[in-house]
Structure 1
Amino acid sequence: MNKTLGELQKQAITELSAYSDSARLDVDLIICHVLSISRTALITQDRMVLEPEQLNQIQQLIEKRKQSYPVAYIIGSRHFWDLELKVTEDTLIPRPETELLVEMALSLFAEDQTTRVLDLGTGSGAVAIAIAKARPEWSIIACDNSPAALSVAKQNAETYQLENIKLINSDWFDDIPDQQKFDLLLSNPPYIESDDPHLKQGDVQHEPQAALSSGRDGLDDIRKLIANAKCFLHAHGWLWLEHGFDQAQNVKDIFTEHNYTNIKQHLDLFGHTRISGGQLG
C-alpha cells in the first residue's frame, strides 16, 4: 500500500514511542537520512508518495531502532558543536556535555595565541576537530589507541579540510614523545564503573565498551591521566577532563593529590558538574 511521507512519519512515531523517549526526533532523522532531505522538507513535502523501496528501507531502520540500536549508528553521523561528524560502532557517539570541553578550551587562550593542544582518546575526533576548526592558528594533536576510531577521525578531519590537526595512534601518553609539551590537554576518558548495569542497556550497550568503563569505581583512566599529564604540560598548562555527574569530588581530590593548582569545575545544562581541570603550577 502506498503511503505519503506524512502518513509514514505519523505511523512510525506512534510505533517507536514505546521504545524510545525521542521517537519524533529518531523518526525524522531516519527519514531525512533515507530520502536525503532536510527536516523542513518533512513538513513541506508531507503529501509526497513514497516509493516502495524508500518505504521498505525506512521501515527496516525503524525496526532496528526498536532494538535500541543508536540512531547515530543507523544514519552514520552525529551533530556536535558546529560539525556533522561521521560515527561508527568503533567510536563513541559524541554527546552535548562533551561540548563543555570545547567551550573551556576556546575560553582559556586567545584566538591568535600560539597554542598547542593534545586531545587524548579522540574517538571520532569531535573535540579536536571542533577546536581545530574554530582556532586555525592553534596546533592540535589527537590520539587514540584504536586504529578503527582514528580512521573515522581522519575522515572527519578531511571533511573540514583541516591542516592544523595531527592524528596519532597512542594509548594515552605511551607514544607521545616525552619532549613534546602542550598548553592544554583534554580528554573525555572512560569513566563508568565496570559493573554498572547501564552498560548493557539502551544505546550504550552498542558503543565500544573499552571507551566507556574504567575499573570498579570508573576512575582508573582518570587517575592515570592526571598522574602522567604533568610531564607533557608547559608551565601553567591545563588539563581538563570530562567525568561522571557523581564523580566531581573524587576527581577534584585526585587533582589535589597530584599538586595541581587552580582546580576548577563546571556544570552541564542540567546543573551537574561534568568537567574538571587543573593547572600545572
Structure 2
Amino acid sequence: MPSRPPTRPSSSPPSPGPEGRAAVTVGELVRAARRRLPAALAGEAELLVAAALGTGRAQVMAFPERTVDAAAARRCLEWIARRAAGAPLAYLTGVREFHGLALEVTPATLVPRPETELLVEAALARLPAGRPARVADLGTGCGAVALAIARARPETEVLATDRSAAALEVARRNAARLGFAHVRFRRGGWCAALAGEPPFDLIVSNPPYVPEGDAALEADGVRAEPREALAAGPDGLDAIRAIARCAPRHLRPGGWLLLEHGAAQGAAVRGLLQAEGLEAVETLRDLAGHERVTGGRRPPA
C-alpha cells in the first residue's frame, strides 16, 4: 500500500469562520445563515443579514464581496442564532410594518399579522370620514389596530387598552413617535379598562383566540410571543366570550363591536354576539378566504 506523502507545514494558519475573523464578507454571513437556519427558513438568509447590517436585501445580493467589520458581524451572527432558535424576525429588527405604519414591537407584544388589517378595514367602513367618533381597541398590544384607525380617521378619539403594562408602553411609544395625540391609553383587562368612559361608537379587538394546546402555539416565531396574547381556553373562545358579554353595554345605540377570530370560529362568534342582543351580525373573510372578523351592532334606541 503506497504511503501518503508527508504533510507540508503551511506558511499561514487556516482561515477561521466568520466568528473568528476581524472582518468578513457579506456573502460569508449569508452562507452562515443558510447553514444555521432550519430548511424552512433558509430563504430568509439575505433578508436577515440585510436587517442585521442595516441595509437592503438588494444590496446584500448585489455586493456579497463587501467586507463587514467585526462588531457588525457579531451582531449578524447573534441574530442568526436567535432566529434559528425561533425568535420572530420582527423581534430582532424591533420593527413591523402594519397598514402602512412602521411599528416598534418587542417580546412584550404580538407581531402584527397581515390578516389583522381586515379588522382595520372593517372598522373604517363603519366610521364615516370627517365625522367625530369614539373608538376603543381592547388588547391593543403594540397599538397596531388603534394607530391604524387613528391615522385614517384623525377626527376620531381612540382609547387603546391592554392589561400588560409593558405592551401598553410600547403602544405609547409608537403613538408618540407617529404624533397621534388623539390616542389615549389605559391599562386594564377587556371592559374593565372602559369603566367611567362615555359610550363608544365602535369597539374593536384582536383578542387571544388559539385553543390551549394547539400545535400552532409551537410554530416558528409564535412560540416566542406572549402566550397570554395568543391562547384563550380549551376552545380558544374564553376572551371572545368575555368581550361579547361586556362590550355591548359600552356601545352607544347603533354602535358596533368587531372581533378578529380563528378561521374555524366564525359560527361560534356569530352565536355569541347574537346571544348578547347584537343585530346585523356578519362575518368577513380574509384574503385567503377564511372567516376572520365578525361584527354586530347594538340596536338603535
Please give the TM-score of this superposition, normalised by the length of structure 1.
Answer: 0.93
**2:185 match: secondary structure:** strand
Q: After TM superposition, where is structure 1 displaced by more than 4 Å over at least 4 residues in a row? A: none
For 1:134 and 1:109, the matched residues in 2 are separated by 10
- Relative to structure 1, the CA distance from residue 111 to residue 22 in structure 2 (aligned partners, 3 Å threshold; closer, same or farther) is farther
Q: How does 1:236-247 map to 2 (within 5 A)?
A: 236-247=254-265
Does the 8 A contact of 1:265 with 1:275 survive in 2? yes
Q: Does residue 171 in structure 1 map to residue 189 in structure 2?
A: yes
Is the Cα–Cα contact under 8 Å of residues 106 and 131 in structure 1 kept in the other structure?
yes
Secondary structure of 1:132's aligned partner: helix
Structure-2 separation of matches of 1:4 and 1:24: 19
2:291 to 242, 250, 273: 273
| Cα contact 2:96–2:104 (8 A) shared by 1 | yes
- 1:23, 1:112 → 2: CA distance? 47
RMSD across aligned positions (CA):
1.7
Matched, 1:9 2:27: no
**Pairwise CA distance, 1:104:** 1.0
Local SS of the residue matching 2:67: coil
| CA deviation map 1:56-111 (0-9, x unaligned) | 22112111111112111122221111111111111111111111111111122221
Structure 1: stretches of 5+ with no match in the other structure: none
CA distance in 2, matches of 1:24, 1:230: 46
Q: CA deviation at 1:48?
A: 1.4
Q: Which residue of the partner structure matches residue 33 of structure 1?
A: 51
Structure 2's unaligned 5+ residue stretches are: 1-14, 16-22
Q: Does residue 160 in structure 1 map to residue 185 in structure 2? A: no
* 126, 135, 142: which one aligns with 2:160: 142
Find the counterpart in structure 1 of residue 279 from structure 2.
Answer: 261
Match of 1:186 among 180, 204, 207: 204
Q: Distance in 1 between matches of 2:97 and 2:136?
A: 22
Q: Secondary structure in 2 aligned to 1:174?
A: helix
Q: What are the superposed Cα offsets for residues 148-178 of structure 1, whole Å, 9 maximum, x if unpaired?
A: 1101101111110111100111111113134
AA paired with 1:131?
I
d(CA) in 2 for partners of 1:74 and 1:243? 27
Q: Structure 2 counterpart of 1:83, which letter? A: L
Q: Distance in 2 between matches of 1:259 and 1:227?
A: 10
User: Residue in 2 aligned with 1:24?
Assistant: 43
Query: Which structure has the bigger radius of gyration?
Result: 2
How many Å apart are 1:224 and its aligned residue?
1.1
The equivalent of 1:216 in structure 2 is 234
Partner Cα distance (1:83, 1:32) in 2: 20
Show the counterpart of 1:51.
Answer: 69
The CA deviation string for residues 191-223 of structure 1, in whole angstroms up to 9 with x for no partner, is 111222332342222111111111111111101
1:133/1:23 Cα in 2 relative to 1: closer, same or farther (>3 Å)? farther
CA contact (8 A) 1:178 1:232 kept: no
| Identical counterparts, % of pairs | 38
Q: TM-score, normalised by structure 2?
A: 0.87
Q: Is the 8 A contact 2:161 2:193 kept in 1?
A: no
Distance 1:109 1:200 in 2: 37
Distance 2:99 2:64 in 1: 29
- CA deviations on 1:255-277 (whole Å, 9 max, x unpaired) are 11112111111111211101110
Name which of 75, 90, 98 aligns with 2:93: 75
The answer to whether the aligner puts 1:207 opposite 2:225 as a matched pair is yes
Q: Please, which moves more after superposition, 253-262 or 32-41?
A: 32-41
Distance 2:281 2:73 in 1: 54
1:183 is displaced (CA, Å) by 0.7
Match for residue 6 of structure 2? none
